[in-house]
Chain A
């Protein structure tokens, strides 16, 4: 693995070049709310991926199983703000499915499930 300094702190180009280039400075006008733990998953009906960038394709293969936005960012080794733009592209194409709700405080049944689960590990 290349260390993140290899591309991140490129002296000549400045610190933001790679992530900026990856998203070309685009904003996310119609993007869903993506939080740290928002679950995303590749659709089993994903469209043709030949037009996608390497990073988009990497996300598609990571998300073959459900993952949080934070996990995708960590595995891709890019800042959260960048992964959110890339994920938004894929969501817009219908290639990635996403939970649209903001994180909710768990109710009693969910807390009980988490309690049992933690006890069981």
Chain B
């Protein structure tokens, strides 16, 4: 790894990330919170009122801006590796944020709520089109497990190779199992190429 500067370079860890995506209210922030070692943090990107990403502050003085918020958490893997979990901001807007989130990511978990399966379609499209490894996690809101895994797979028109897991995003072990499922899926994809 290359650093600007020279002193004890080894003490800066390698950062990896996983994207937690899905429709509004599917449990993204809940999942980040249940596995993160810190209370989820929130960071904001600026947009102009027209929805254009502000990546330079020159010339925007006095212009109206709005913000897009990202929730994220952290898992320190060891002294050399740190994993970040990012919940995606709203679908259909803010795709520039999704691109930044997806770059170099291990992959994505697409959360779905079976009461509103269609709310996660845009997330699935996004990762499919960009060839980013993803798995689908069905967040089982109390008593709302309306469909079997196969029915969900069919309704979402998912490739056979995409794992579909059931989970409870509030539960740490359940959310851990989802992350493990995604990492294994990414490893399998790597082995396949």
A interface list, Cβ under 8 A from B: 14-16, 19-20, 23, 25-28, 32, 35-39, 41, 43-45, 66, 68, 70-71, 73-75, 79-82, 85, 91, 94, 96-108, 110-119, 121
Is A70 touching B41 in the complex (CB atoms < 8 A)?
yes
Number of interface residues of B (CB under 8 A): 63
In the complex, what's the smallest C-beta–C-beta distance from B81 to chain A, in angstroms? 6
Given known A35-B100, A73-B43, contact A106–B16 (CB-CB < 8 A) = yes
Is A81 touching B56 in the complex (CB atoms < 8 A)?
yes
Nearest A-chain residue to B58, judged by Cβ: A27
| Chain A residues in 8 Å Cβ range of B146 | none
Is A121 touching B176 in the complex (CB atoms < 8 A)?
yes
A75 to B67, CA, bound (A): 17
| Chain A residues in 8 Å Cβ range of B42 | 74
Q: Render B37-53 as a binary contact track against A, CB cut-off 8 A, 1 for contact.
A: 10001111110000000
In the complex, what's the smallest C-beta–C-beta distance from B178 to chain A, in angstroms? 10
B170-191: which residues lie under 8 A (CB-CB) from chain A? 176, 179-180, 183-184, 186-187, 190-191
In the complex, what's the smallest C-beta–C-beta distance from B63 to chain A, in angstroms? 7
